[in-house]
Structure 1
Amino acid sequence: MRTVLIVTGLLALAACGGSKENVHEFDGQIYSGRARAVGKEAPGAFTVAIGPVSKGLTGAREAGRYEATKFCIGYIGTSDVDWQLGPDTPDDALQFDGDKLILRGTCVE
């Protein structure tokens, strides 16, 4: 009986932890975000919103690149991206939404 209670308690505790699937550490800081498909009219096109940028732009760029890579591998099975607004874009041309960096690209076969 005690074993059942311990196992049940551990499972409940694990369930409370939430998903850390889109939370990553880059450049010593924690960033979160997600790549999302633009729509059916543009197959493979996506946007990534990643933040908080206030923790560091370099880390946010790399976290965005990582999320895009995950998205493309899941979408078409390759990590190749044709960036329209990517992590290597010059600082003065980047787009932000509050404390989030916005990246855009298309998965390439």
Structure 2
Amino acid sequence: MRVTGSVLAAAMALTGCGGIGSGDSGLFGGRSLRGSAEEVQGIRFRSRVTSPGEDARRFMVATRGADRAPPQAVEAARIEAVRYCLTRYGGSNIEWTEGPDRPVEEIPLEDGVLVLSGRCLAR
């Protein structure tokens, strides 16, 4: 399955190092959060969340190395998204745009990067 150019560019932008900062344009031209590592069934993945400047509830999470074990990478990305929503908004409810509820084989990978996106819902 192929990823559109804009999603691929966004995913690749997420795979670099970064943190919150005024000079960090990140995905959507907004804030970028430093990635964190999550171990799922003994496999460690680094995921990174980026949110837009105008609607910080909307986010994308990219997980590198997803081609090693796609089901575990999806779980690592989901965990990072829930962590983002809990930390920022105090709740774990997410309205997924491209979510972990799809069959793993339908979630696109490009150069080993898996991208999920959604929006944190208000409590």
Identity of aligned residues (%): 28
Q: Which has the higher helix share?
A: 1
The residue number in structure 2 matching 1:50 is 63
Moved over 6 A (4+): none
The residue number in structure 1 matching 2:85 is 72
Q: Distance in 2 between matches of 1:88 and 1:105?
A: 12
**TM superposition shift of 1:32:** 0.5
The residue number in structure 2 matching 1:90 is 103
Q: Structure 2 unaligned segments of length 5 or more: list them.
A: 1-34
TM-score, normalised by the number of residues in structure 2: 0.65
**TM superposition shift of 1:90:** 2.2
| Aligned length in residues | 88
Q: Distance in 2 between matches of 1:84 and 1:53?
A: 19
User: Given the alignment, which residue of 24, 46, 51 partners 1:37?
Assistant: 51
Q: Indicate if the aligned counterparts of 2:71 and 2:104 stay in contact, CA closer than 8 A.
A: no
**TM superposition shift of 1:77:** 1.0
**TM superposition shift of 1:101:** 0.5
**TM superposition shift of 1:43:** 3.8
Structure 1 residues 68-99: Cα deviation after superposition (integer angstroms, max 9, x where no partner): 01110122111111111111212343232311
Q: Indicate if the aligned counterparts of 1:31 and 1:51 stay in contact, CA closer than 8 A.
A: yes
Q: Distance in 1 between matches of 2:45 and 2:76?
A: 7
Q: Indicate if the aligned counterparts of 1:95 and 1:103 stay in contact, CA closer than 8 A.
A: no
Code of the residue aligned with 1:57 in structure 2: it is P
Q: Indicate if the aligned counterparts of 1:27 and 1:58 stay in contact, CA closer than 8 A.
A: no
Code of the residue aligned with 2:121 in structure 1: it is V
